[in-house]
Amino acid sequence: MIRLGCIADDLTGATDLSLMLAREGMNVIQTAGVPDRQVDLSDADAVVVALKSRTNPAAEAVAQSLAAAEALRKAGAKHFFFKYCSTFDSTDEGNIGPVTEALLDFTKSDFTLACPAFPANKRSVYRGHLFVGDVLLSESSMKDHPLTPMRDANLVRVLGRQTKLSVGLVAYEDVEKGPEAVRAAFARAKAAGHRIVIVDAVSDAHLRVIGAAAHDLAVVTGGSGVAMGLPLAYGIKPKADAGARMPAPKGRAAILAGSCSAATRGQIAAALAAGTPAFKIDPLALADGKVSAAQILDWIADQGAERAPLVYSSADPADVARAQDKLGRAQAGEMIEHLIADIARALPERGFSRLIVAGGETSGAAVAALGVKALRIGPEIAPGVPWTRTLGGTDLALALKSGNFGAEDFFIKAWDLLE
């Protein structure tokens, strides 16, 4: 039975939340967009719908979020979690306020909380003010964010500008005292006419208290931090074999890297030093028609099965600049993404069922080419990067690595977590 239906306003935020819930013992399925009817969600404790709604016009974000909530409710969810960024990324027009209001209407409930705190990542809320590290949000680099500049750290005020509902505060003293005190504070806030409360939290212990106090709310909103206490509040305990290996479909393994980030380049260097067979894509040769997906697929097939072959376009900044000068920035990127997507699409039919893809955009292109609609979240390979197994469609084990994530031995060690 789905205990928690989650709606995340962007993809990496969805994965972050999925990992948090999985670590706390939930079976988690993450879907790309509103879940398809064909995807079987029946054994999930939590389903996390990844939207791309953070900076959409408010009406669109509301419509997408409600479509997700509807699908989650059809799948059995009675509790809903709206996940946004731990820096409360939004403008005075939304979308945190409007989506929260819509979800309260949707669940016919009259009260929820908002807590972006994530102390492990240096986001804390004290007296309703959001701190990023040692400084107020409004003094952090978020003040100059290109899409959602955050110039006010007082979240009661920030959220108050986004909604017609009255916004209150449950402060540190109550959170410090424990779940009963927080529930009493909720009741006082409700009696005072507030429909949303910002809740202070400066430690994981506070997040767990909030989870325990919030288990009967139909809607909880926040960063992934505040989800930490919810599984236990729903009676789910961390699994004894957490961090254990993931059963994976039999088949060969390969690595596709289109990220040029420093971490990925270090991982490639480490893989090459360890003797990994590798094919480097030269963007200029690709533009001249001298390299093709078919040719690379033949090369992959010729490699021995004992080591996962690596295909990469990753290059240092000078080489990237050279390619971009000749081909254009966007064109170079798209050409390489298309090539990697074409390779990914053809791999399953050639017996490859275990893939690591490095790069956010590159992963997006590969996953779209593979037709992946939903993923079951498996063990964490590195902070922010789980193994996943596809649901519906071709059965694959996928590790989708954002460019700068993971230690140097990622491409070598990740396989150890597969059965």
Please state, in angstroms and as integers, the Cα–Cα distance from residue 151 to each residue in 117, 144, 145, 293, 347, following that order. 18, 8, 10, 47, 47
Residue (92 or 316) nearer to ligand ADP, CB: 316
- Cα(18)–Cα(23) distance, integer angstroms: 9
CB of 367 to ligand ADP, least distance (A): 12
Decide: 174 and 182 in contact? Cβ < 8 Å.
yes
Residue 187 DSSP symbol = H
CB of 336 to ligand ADP, least distance (A): 4
- Cα(378)–Cα(108) distance, integer angstroms: 34
- Cα(415)–Cα(269) distance, integer angstroms: 17
CB of 146 to ligand ADP, least distance (A): 16
**The amino acid at 406:** G
Handedness of CA 256, 259, 265, 267 (dihedral sign): negative
CB of 150 to ligand ADP, least distance (A): 23
Residue (179 or 333) nearer to ligand ADP, CB: 333
Q: What is the CA radius of gyration of the chain?
A: 22
Residue (150 or 260) nearer to ligand ADP, CB: 260
**The amino acid at 323:** A
Residue (228 or 315) nearer to ligand ADP, CB: 315
Contacts of 325 (CB under 8 A, 6+ apart): none
Decide: 68 and 51 in contact? Cβ < 8 Å.
yes
Residue (72 or 399) nearer to ligand ADP, CB: 399
CB of 272 to ligand ADP, least distance (A): 16
Q: Which residue is nearest to ligand ADP (CB)?
A: 403
Contacts of 184 (CB under 8 A, 6+ apart): 174
CB of 67 to ligand ADP, least distance (A): 27
Measured from the Cβ of residue 3, the count of other Cβ atoms closer than 10 Å reads 22
Residue (113 or 263) nearer to ligand ADP, CB: 263
- Cα(2)–Cα(35) distance, integer angstroms: 13
Give the residue among 5, 17, 2, 24 at the shortest CA–CA distance from 233: 24
Residue (106 or 279) nearer to ligand ADP, CB: 279
CB of 324 to ligand ADP, least distance (A): 6
Using CB under 6 A as the criterion, which residues of the chain lie in contact with ligand ADP when the complex forms? 258-261, 264, 283, 313-315, 319-320, 323-324, 332-333, 336-337, 359-362, 402-403
Decide: 275 and 376 in contact? Cβ < 8 Å.
no
Q: Angle CA(182)–CA(185)–CA(189) in degrees, nearest 5? A: 140
CB of 327 to ligand ADP, least distance (A): 8
Residue (130 or 311) nearer to ligand ADP, CB: 311
Residue (174 or 337) nearer to ligand ADP, CB: 337
- Token pair 């994981």 is found at 204
CB of 338 to ligand ADP, least distance (A): 9
Contacts 24+ apart (CB under 8 A), 318-321: 320/260
